[in-house]
Structure 1
Amino acid sequence: MACRLPVAASVRAARPAVGDRAFHASAVAPKPRRQRNRNNPFALNQMKHFQYDDIPTFGHVKLQKQRQMLDYYRLLQHEVPQLAQFREPFTPAPASDVLTFELTHYQGEAHPGARKAVLHAEVRELFRASQLTAPAAQIKFLLLAGARWRPANVQVVEALNAARAQGTEALQRALDTPDLGTLKISCADYPHETQNMKWCSDVLDRMLSEAQATPTFDDVPLDVRPYIKSEARGGRLPMARAADFPKEWL
C-alpha cells in the first residue's frame, strides 16, 4: 500500500539543495578605509618620512631638461653631419616664374594654419609674362583684383585714374611704372595645402581670362579706399558714404 507524505514534507523535499541555488548578485560591502590602505603602497599614511636621500621635484625637472639637451647634442654630434650627403646647390628661379607661394609649417606638430596657401606675384612682372598687353585689359585686371591688389602707395592708384581720363597713351605710360604693387591671393578652406594652392592658381587664371573679355569697364575708376589708413580711427577704414561714389552711379 502506497504511503502518502504530508503536504509540508513534500514541499520540503521538492526544494533544491543549498549548493544548487543561484547566488544573489549583490554589491560587496566596502572595506574600511584603514583596511583598504593597509596594502596600498601609494597611501599617504603608508609613506615613510623623508630621509633626505632624494632631490625635490624641481631638481627632477632640472635633470629632465639636461637629459633633453644631451639628446640634442648627440644628434648634432652623430646624425647632423650625415645630412651633408643630401646637400644640393641652390638654383634660383628663372625670370619667367613670377608666382610665389607662401606656406607655413609647424615643425613636429599638426596645426590648422599649416594648410593655408598664399600666392604672391609682382603685378608688373605678371603683366609682362601673361597675355595682358592691352592697357584696358590690365586696368580691368586691377579692378577684378580689388583688395587683393596692394599698390606701393595711394598715389599710384590716383595716377592711374588720372591717366585713364587723358587717353590710351597716358594710361600706357602710367602702367609702365616700375612698381605697380603686388597681388595676393590666399586660401585656407581645404584640408590640404596643395588643394589651397590649386584654388589660388585657379582664381588667378579666371581673373586673367576675364580681364581679356568684354566689357572693359572703362567708366569704372579704381577704388583708393582699401589703401587709405586713417590715423584718427586707429588704422581702421572709414565707412563708405554716398559722396564717395560717382554721381552717375546714384
Structure 2
Amino acid sequence: LRTMYEKARANGDEVPIAVVNGADATVLLAAAMSFNEDLDELTVAAALHNRLHGKPLRMVQLPNGIAVPADSEYAMEARITLELDDEGPYVDITGTVDEVRQEPVIEYDSVYHRTEPVFHALISAGVEHRTLMGMPRAPTIKAAVSKVVNCTDVYLTEGGCGWLSSVVQIKPQHDGDGIKAIHAALDGHRSMKQVIVVDEDIDIANPIRVEWALMTRWQPDTDTVILTGQKGSSLDPSRDEDGSTSKIGMDATLPIGVDRGPFESVL
C-alpha cells in the first residue's frame, strides 16, 4: 500500500481504499505480514481461511471498487489524500511512546456495518498486538536460518515484545553452525536486536530453560557475536540518533562430537 500511495502521490492522485474492522483472524494475520515480492495479502488471507475453516473467504465489493471481507463488522470507504499531518504520539508494541511522524491523512466517505456490530479495539503492547506483529516474523527468520543450517524452530520472546529478540533452535551438523545461525537470523529480521541459538533439547518458549542453556553451554568470549553500526528499529528508544544500533547473538549450542552427558539436565 505504501508503494501504491507513493506512486499515486508522485502523480498528484489520491488512493481509494477500504478500511475494515472486526475481520476474521486470518485476515488480520495476513495484513500483518511483510513480503519480499508483490503479493496481495487477501490472497494469503484466503489461503489461510480455507486451511483453517475449510471454506473460501467471502468477499464483497464496495461502491468505490475495493473488495473487502464480507463478514467484517465494519467496512469503510476512504481515500488516502495528498495532505500530511502528525501521527501520534502513540504507545507501540514495546509499551513505550513511539516518535511522531508525518503521515498521509485519510478521509472517510462511507461506513457500512453489520446489524449490532462489535468494534474490535487492539490494546497497544498487549498480547494481541505482539502476536499479530511478531508472529509472522518467526517463519521469516526460520526461512533465513534454514538456508545455512538445519533450523527446527523460532520463538519471538515476550521480553523482546515479540519483535526485538528471538530464540532460534537448530540441529547443528558442523562446527560454527550456531554462529552462522546468528548472522542469518539477524538478517532475516532486520529490526531484531538480540538472538540466542540453542539445541533441540531446549524449550525455546521457556525463558528459564533458555537462560539455563546460556549458563551451562555458552562462553561469552568465544560464543558471542556483536555487530555495530546496524540498522535499528524505531521501536528501540536506545538506538543512536541516526537510527543505528549494535546487535548481539549468543550461541548456546554444544560443540559437534562433545560428550553431551555433563550438559544434560536430569531434572
After TM superposition, the score normalised by the length of structure 2 is: 0.21
- Relative contact order: is structure 1 or structure 2 higher (C-alpha 8 Å, sep ≥ 6)? 1
Greater Rg by CA: 1
Higher strand share: 2
Higher helix share: 1
